Amino acid sequence: MSFVLPLRPVRDPACCDPADGIAAADGKAMVCLGNDGIVRLSYRQGAVVDDTDARAVMSVVNSACQGRRRPLLVDLSGLESVSRAARRVFAIRSRVAGMALFGTSPVVCVIATFFMRFHPMPCPAAYFAKRPAALQWLHSVGRGSTASRREK
């Protein structure tokens, strides 16, 4: 007699369970706190973010930080556009200790580059094409590195 176990997706143990996430901005974004202390933010496919959405997202991010300054990993892959007013909201000081933005599409690259170039951040911030590089950078920020950068 043999048993075949169903295959289950391998989940990053430091990552938060999607069921534990909190929707923000009328479901345009999802925020959760990972077991590694990193707050994760992702956007629904085709999300268009205005300043009202940005305030809602940052309110949930600040709440997820649980009264402490924490690193923020932002998956921009679903994002379609961010208004000028929203970019100003995202640049306001918050509980975020460092922000790593990542995504591979040309739209995401333009959004991230423009955002970081024209909106001074109140914390270290960097753009990466890939999630592992973004996470590695966030861990280095937690150890004292304060460099902002853009990776292609």
Which CATH number goes with the domain that contains 55? 3.40.50.10600
147 assigned to some structural domain: no
Does the residue 14 lie in any domain? no
pLDDT of 48: 96
Q: What is the pLDDT, as a whole number, of residue 141?
A: 82
In a domain, residue 16? The reply is no
Q: In the numeric block, which tokens belong to residue 89?
A: 């909201």
Furthest C-alpha separation in the chain: 65
51: helix, coil or strand? Answer: helix
Give how many domains the chain has, as a whole number: 1
pLDDT at residue 15, as a whole number = 59
Residue 72 in tokens: 């923020």
Task: Note the pLDDT of residue 29.
Answer: 96
Other CB atoms within 10 Å distance of the CB of residue 116: 20
Residue 128: count of CB within 10 angstroms of its CB: 23
Q: Show the tokens assigned to 71.
A: 């690193």
pLDDT score of 9 = 33
Pairing of the two strands 22-24 and 149-150: unpaired
Q: Is residue 13 domain-resident?
A: no
Residue 2 is predicted with a pLDDT of 36
Q: What is the pLDDT of residue 31?
A: 96
* Token reading at 109: 């690259």
Assess if residue 77 is contained within a domain.
yes
Quick check: is 69 in a domain?
Answer: yes
For 37, 73, 88, 123, 142, the CA distances from 96, given in Å and listed in that order, are 12, 10, 15, 7, 11
Whether 86 maps to a domain, the answer reads yes
SS3 57: helix
CA distances from 131 to 91, 118, 151 (A): 22, 23, 11
Q: Which amino acid is at 57?
A: V
Contact call for residues 27 and 42 (beta carbons, < 8 A): no
- Tens of pLDDT along the chain (152 residues) come to 433 333 333 344 455 666 778 999 999 999 999 988 999 999 999 999 999 999 999 999 999 999 999 999 999 999 999 999 999 999 999 999 999 999 988 888 888 887 888 878 889 999 999 999 999 999 888 654 444 444 44
Q: By residue range, what is the domain housing residue 77?
A: 22-142
- 84 found inside a domain: yes
